[in-house]
């Protein structure tokens, strides 16, 4: 079975500082990994994904994430946070060896608060 | 493209009532799914479909039914609403394969 852990309920950062949102995963095979963002009273929006290849993945709005197989992590990063980055962030994983239908397992979410 | 649309946006039901949450997508995506979002629990998969006429259960299917008669539509039926089904419901769609899902705006359901 696949699982995702986001160890921080909330991350607080000052505008202009680096932002990191942590995610670790567990799958029996090889993972597909995703990050989504949810703004208040909205649906989830796709940020980026890791399928294969380069461990550093670049996505929307200046975000990037690094896949680390040995640490089973996929942390989301942004070099310089903006107040508008304040939102709820979800990490999700799919095990492409055991699940052919694209079912995603989501983490519990991390609330990011960026202060001016 | 309208993307993924959901109706209604808000709904209040009494225990025991039934209703259908509507979901439609205009992207010709094969894969559609329903999630519920509860505080501190992320999104949990209720049911999903890999194409018209094919559905399967997700993590929390009890109390819900789905059908997929067309590629575009994937309604979620609550058979007899219970307070435990108070939640925000999201529909999503994607192309098959390792593709990202597109989410609708959600339906906030309260069962009293």
- Residue A91 banded pLDDT, cuts 50, 70, 90: very high
For residue A48, the distance in angstroms to the closest alpha carbon of chain B comes to 8
Q: How close A17 comes to chain B (CA, Å)? A: 26
Provide the pLDDT confidence category of residue B96 given band limits of 50, 70 and 90: confident
Share of chain A above pLDDT 90, in %: 75
**In a 3-state reduction of DSSP, which class is residue B83?**
helix
| CA dihedral (B51, B54, B60, B62) positive or negative | positive
Select from B108, B3, B56 the least CA-distant residue to A101: B56
CB proximity under 8 Å: A 65-84 to B: none
SS3 of chain A: the string is: CCEEECCCCEEEEECCCCEEECCEEECCCCEEEEEEEECCCCCEEEEEEECCCCCEEECHHHCEEEEECCCCEEEEEECCCCHHHCEEEEEEEEECCCCCCCCCEECCCEEEEEEC
Quick check: B67 pLDDT over 70? yes
User: What is the chain B residue with the closest CA to A47?
Assistant: B100
Task: Flag if A46 and B101 touch (Cβ within 8 Å).
Answer: yes
Residue reference for tokens 């909205």: A42
Which tens digit of pLDDT belongs to each residue from B5-55? 999 999 999 999 999 999 999 999 999 999 999 988 889 999 999 999 999
pLDDT classification of A50: cutoffs 50, 70, 90: very high
Question: Distance between CA atoms of B31 and B53, rounded to whole angstroms?
Answer: 12
Percentage of residues in chain A with pLDDT exceeding 70? 94
* Residue A96 reports pLDDT greater than 80: no
Average pLDDT over residues A29-44: 90
Question: What is the per-residue pLDDT for B98?
Answer: 66
Q: What pLDDT is stored for residue B10 in this prediction?
A: 96
Cα(A25)–Cα(A4) distance, integer angstroms? 4
Q: Is B4:B92 a contact under the CB 8 Å cutoff?
A: yes
Q: What is the mean pLDDT of chain B?
A: 94
Widest CA span in chain A: 45
Contact across the interface for B98 and A106, Cβ inside 8 Å: no
Residues written for chain B: 112
pLDDT for residue A28: 84
Q: Which residue of B has its CA nearest to A108?
A: B42
pLDDT band at A99 (very low <50, low <70, confident <90, very high): low
Half-sphere CA count of B95, side-chain side, radius 13 A: 5
Residue labelled with tokens 């160890």: A7
The per-residue pLDDT for B47 is 95
Instruction: Determine the residue among A102, A105, A106 to mutate to test chain B binding: the one whose Cβ has the most chain B Cβ atoms within 10 Å.
Output: A102
Token digits for A25?
A: 């995963």
3-state secondary structure of B109: strand
Inter-chain residue contact A46 with B58, CB threshold 8 Å: no
- pLDDT above 90 (res A46): yes
The verdict on a CB contact (< 8 Å) between B33 and A103 is yes
Is the Cα dihedral B99, B95, A26, A43 positive or negative? positive
Least confident of A27-31, A71-75, A105-109, B5-9: A27-31
pLDDT of residue A98: 64
The answer to whether B90 and B106 are in contact (CB under 8 A) is: yes
Measured between CA atoms, the residue of chain B closest to residue A111 is B40
């Amino acid at each position: 079975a696949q699982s995702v852990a986001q160890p921080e309920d909330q991350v607080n950062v000052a505008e202009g500082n680096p932002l990191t949102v942590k995610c670790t995963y567990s799958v029996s095979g090889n993972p597909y990994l995703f990050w989504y963002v949810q703004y208040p009273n909205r649906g989830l929006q796709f940020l980026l994904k890791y399928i294969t290849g380069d461990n550093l993945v670049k996505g929307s709005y200046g975000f990037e994430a690094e896949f680390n197989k040995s640490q089973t992590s996929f942390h989301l990063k942004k070099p310089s946070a903006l107040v508008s980055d304040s939102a709820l962030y979800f990490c999700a994983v799919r095990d492409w060896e055991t699940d052919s239908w694209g079912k995603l397992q989501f983490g519990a979410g991390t609330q990011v608060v960026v202060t001016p | 493209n309208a993307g993924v649309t959901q109706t209604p946006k808000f709904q209040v039901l009494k225990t025991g009532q039934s209703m259908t949450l509507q979901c439609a997508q205009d992207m010709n995506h094969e894969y559609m799914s329903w999630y519920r979002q509860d505080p501190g629990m992320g999104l949990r998969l209720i049911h999903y479909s890999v194409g018209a006429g094919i559905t399967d259960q997700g993590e929390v299917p009890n109390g819900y039914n789905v059908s997929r008669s067309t590629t575009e539509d994937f309604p979620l039926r609550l058979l007899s609403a219970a307070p435990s089904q108070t939640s925000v419901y999201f529909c999503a769609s994607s192309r098959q394969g390792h593709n990202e899902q597109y989410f609708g705006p959600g339906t906030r359901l309260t069962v009293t």
